[in-house]
Amino acid sequence: MKTTPTKGRGATLQVEGRFEQVAREHFDDGWNTEEDLPPLKTTVTAEHAKSVIQRHDSPDLPFELSLNAYRGCEHGCIYCYARPSHGYLNLSPGLDFETKLFAKPDAAKLLRDELAKPAYRCSPISLGSNTDPYQPIERDWKITRQILEVLAECKHPLSIITKSALVERDLDLLTQLARDNLALVMISITTLDASLARKLEPRAASPQRRLQAMRRLNDAGVPCGVMVAPVIPFLTDAELETVLTAARDHGANTAGYTLLRLPYELKELFKDWLTTHYPLKAEHVMSRLRDMRGGRENDSAFGSRFRGEGEFAALLAQRFRMACAKLGLNRSAVTLNTESFRPPARGGQMGLF
């Protein structure tokens, strides 16, 4: 049975998470009694966490600390590797991930408490490593802005990765941080094809709007690069050089890329999306991806999970290096300032001096 896409949403399936004890399958009993369901609405639930800083020891990640203000993401990107995390909440990595969201309203306070601990050692904090810090609900909740206010007050370095032009709202704080080399923003662009982008990432800013945000940030003195992510064989990989060129033309000096990852339930979700929107390309995409993943549909091993392996992965890496060299990207490593950090007073107590 062909899946019918839900308007404005990325996932074409509502699959059960891997921790569920039962599975449900759509079945047509021939009685033609189906009724049209009402449009899916986004709901947001406040989550009161005990801590907000996550620590990482992965050799693949350029940061040790990350912070995510939200769980789930309304952008609805079908390829999002964070989708399976909704299974821990007894929710579906499919449509639930993009419609049943969780916000951490205490994030700024918890961050301040953690930065004030005597044992804390300053290291750049990454915002958006799991879900987008500037997804649409940030307009109302403003949690990311509150976090930036704490980091600016403490002169703490941070990096941001986002697909949203809403990052422009916080230019006042980002320019303040950038003056002391405390901020780096990466705009994620998967494709410049607006039609494809609407299917891949239905509620994210358009590719051209993201480029405009990149230009505005760079013109304001906030270093803003591009993350070509994810590269999808036979669907977006031909655009690698084009995206890098557009980013350079909008002020970017830094660039990165990742190959499509399909952990856990994401395999089923992505394959159904492919057969729904691009049935003639579906098998080609998956076959090439398996070639770049050692014969598997996903590879979680350090060193290869972001880049792949084999001849096609090596060719992609070579193309990226050559394009960056030609365009003058990544000529110097970005090192954020950790020396200016000033811990906040513990318990709100004023300093003596």
Q: Looking at residue 342, what is its pLDDT?
A: 97
CB 133 within 8 A of CB 158: no
Could you state, in order of their start, the residue ranges of all structural domains in the chain?
A: 47-332
Question: What phi and psi values does residue 72 have, to the nearest 5 degrees?
Answer: 80, 165
Distance, in Å, from the CA atom of 233 to the CA atom of 230, rounded to the nearest integer, reads 10
Give me the mean pLDDT over the 262-271 stretch: 97
The overall average pLDDT reported for the chain is: 92
Q: Looking at residue 8, what is its pLDDT?
A: 82
Q: In this model, does residue 352 exceed pLDDT 50?
A: no
Q: In this model, does residue 101 exceed pLDDT 90?
A: yes
CA nearest neighbour of 158 among 149, 168, 148: 148
Q: Which residue has the higher pLDDT, 247 or 10?
A: 247
With H, G, I as helix, E, B as strand and everything else as coil, classify residue 167: helix
Give me the mean pLDDT over the 321-331 stretch: 98
How sure is the predictor about 39, in pLDDT bands with cuts at 50, 70 and 90? confident
CA nearest neighbour of 130 among 108, 101, 152: 101
Q: pTM of the predicted model, to two decimals?
A: 0.91
Q: Which residues, other chains included, contact 127 with Cβ-Cβ below 8 Å and sequence gap of 6+?
A: 66, 67, 68, 69, 133, 144, 147, 158, 159, 160, 161
How sure is the predictor about 347, in pLDDT bands with cuts at 50, 70 and 90? low
Distance, in Å, from the CA atom of 52 to the CA atom of 58, rounded to the nearest integer, reads 18
How sure is the predictor about 6, in pLDDT bands with cuts at 50, 70 and 90? confident
Q: Looking at residue 1, what is its pLDDT?
A: 43
Q: Looking at residue 18, what is its pLDDT?
A: 61
Q: In this model, does residue 170 exceed pLDDT 80?
A: yes
Give me the mean pLDDT over the 61-90 stretch: 96
Q: In this model, does residue 36 exceed pLDDT 70?
A: no
Distance, in Å, from the CA atom of 200 to the CA atom of 11, rounded to the nearest integer, reads 9
Q: Which residues, other chains included, contact 115 with Cβ-Cβ below 8 Å and sequence gap of 6+?
A: 150, 154, 156, 343, 344
Buried b (16+ CB within 10 A) or exposed e, 110-148: bbbbbbbeeeeebbbbbbbbbbbbbbbbbeebbbbbbbb
First to last CA, the chain: 71
Q: In this model, does residue 30 exceed pLDDT 90?
A: no
Buried b (16+ CB within 10 A) or exposed e, 35-47: eeeeebebebeeb
With pLDDT > 70 as the criterion, what percentage of the chain qualifies?
A: 90
Q: What is the pLDDT of residues 17-28, one digit of tens each?
A: 665 555 555 545
Q: Looking at residue 15, what is its pLDDT?
A: 77
Q: Looking at residue 9, what is its pLDDT?
A: 87
Q: Looking at residue 234, what is its pLDDT?
A: 97
How sure is the predictor about 350, in pLDDT bands with cuts at 50, 70 and 90? very low
Amino acid 15 reads: V
Q: Looking at residue 353, what is its pLDDT?
A: 46
Q: Looking at the structure, give the CATH architecture of the domain made up of residues 47-332.
A: Alpha-Beta Barrel (3.20)
Q: In this model, does residue 286 exceed pLDDT 50?
A: yes
Q: In this model, does residue 104 exceed pLDDT 70?
A: yes
Q: What is the pLDDT of residues 136-167, one digit of tens each?
A: 999 999 999 999 999 999 999 999 999 999 99
DSSP assigned state of 203: T
Q: In this model, does residue 2 exceed pLDDT 90?
A: no
